[in-house]
Structure 1
């Protein structure tokens, strides 16, 4: 057994311990970063996000790998994440490093706070003298909250989410983007770790209506 695998497996009982303490609304995941497309090697309460062992990394995991943020920190905590079914999570990630300080995996906690937010809105409306009926109960749209992670185990869905998030911030239709503007899109997607996934180049090429060799050429220009 490789040392890195042995190290990661030593976190499995810790993950189970944390999930048992916090309860069924807390998902705990162990990622093996050596294979981003099948990085989940252990999960407790996976019913929350719908993910399971063998599923892919998240967009945040890919960003961590590209930015190497783990070199200066041991963990990141108390950030928001969103689920494929519209849930909101309060999340944290612990960086699992070997004796040389190299990152080999991650242990991630995701606590589903969707219903807590609805309850908090309702309580605030009472305290402020507003309507006693939570807006969500009437089907009223809630204000969209920023999210820093998307919990989705399917690689194709993850790629589409990352690509469309970047394109969604551009006011110009894709077919009217100049070459330099497309290079900027490729640059941002590269910084987010899209090309760490095997299908990244082909999906980006299709989204930007360019060839795969053109994507590789753009990436070369960014070096």
Structure 2
């Protein structure tokens, strides 16, 4: 082996170790941010028989030095394997349901050398979901009773749907978005409902005076 080849191999190994160290820092930050629900694992795919380099917020019971999973082995076999696989169903050894994401990391030669994997324990969230479903369940009944002015709910629903299109809540809408919303409410006849401006102001968490200004600018 000539010196150029040897130097290149040594530099490549150095770069991969540096990459793994930085990846571990990212994993630690993610695990601390998403604790206690998310396990974050760093895999060294250059050593598949002992691929787990670090495991933060350990929920699966695995340990450093354990082998690569099926996904890790698939990446080692083929550089064409997807780099990003998100939100797939999984489970821990004891049967707890999880939502997992696996991110493959390649070196400059296009070969997989590492993976960052996140496993979220869904046990608590499914319990919360079940409790919320029970709490919000409404028995079928023929009784009709209105506890608020007719039409106010239609305004609130329209505002929520408008905000959701941008991945926001009503309170998060910016000035221009609120003005555009007011124009749509008028166009759809929702501002003709009794106390419409008051309903809009309340749902957007702005003053009635501000809501009237938006209305006057239309």
Classify the TM-score, shorter chain: 0.5 to 0.7
Which residue is equivalent to 1:190? Answer: none
Unaligned runs of 5+ in 2: 1-9, 140-218
Match of 2:56 among 36, 41, 44: 44
State the distance in 2 between where 1:26 and 1:40 align. 16
- Is the alpha carbon distance of 1:74 and 1:7 closer, same or farther for their aligned partners in structure 2, counting shifts above 3 Å? same
Is this contact kept in 2: 1:92–1:109, CA < 8 A? yes
C-alpha deviation, 1:129, in angstroms: 5.1
SS of the residue aligned with 1:78? Answer: strand
C-alpha deviation, 1:88, in angstroms: 1.4
- CA distances 1:186-207 after superposition (whole Å, capped 9, x unpaired): xxxxxxxxxxxxxxxxxxxxxx
SS of the residue aligned with 1:10? Answer: helix
Unaligned runs of 5+ in 1: 131-223
Is this contact kept in 2: 1:8–1:96, CA < 8 A? no
Q: How many residues align?
A: 127
Residue correspondence of structure 1 range 63-212 to structure 2 within 5 A: 63-66=74-77, 68-70=79-81, 73-128=82-137
Is this contact kept in 2: 1:8–1:105, CA < 8 A? yes
Please give the TM-score of this superposition, normalised by the length of structure 2.
0.52
- CA distances 1:164-209 after superposition (whole Å, capped 9, x unpaired): xxxxxxxxxxxxxxxxxxxxxxxxxxxxxxxxxxxxxxxxxxxxxx
1:57 aligns with 2:68: yes
Which residue is equivalent to 1:32? Answer: 44
**Bigger radius of gyration:** 2
Over 6 Å off, 4+ runs = none
**RCO (CA 8 Å, sep 6+): is it higher in 1 or 2?**
1
- CA distances 1:47-94 after superposition (whole Å, capped 9, x unpaired): x11111111112332334345444xx4422111211011111111111
- CA distances 1:31-52 after superposition (whole Å, capped 9, x unpaired): 0112222100111112x11111
C-alpha deviation, 1:27, in angstroms: 0.9
Aligned-pair Cα RMSD in Å? 2.2
State the distance in 1 between where 2:72 and 2:131 align. 34
- Is the alpha carbon distance of 1:5 and 1:80 closer, same or farther for their aligned partners in structure 2, counting shifts above 3 Å? same
1:21 aligns with 2:30: no
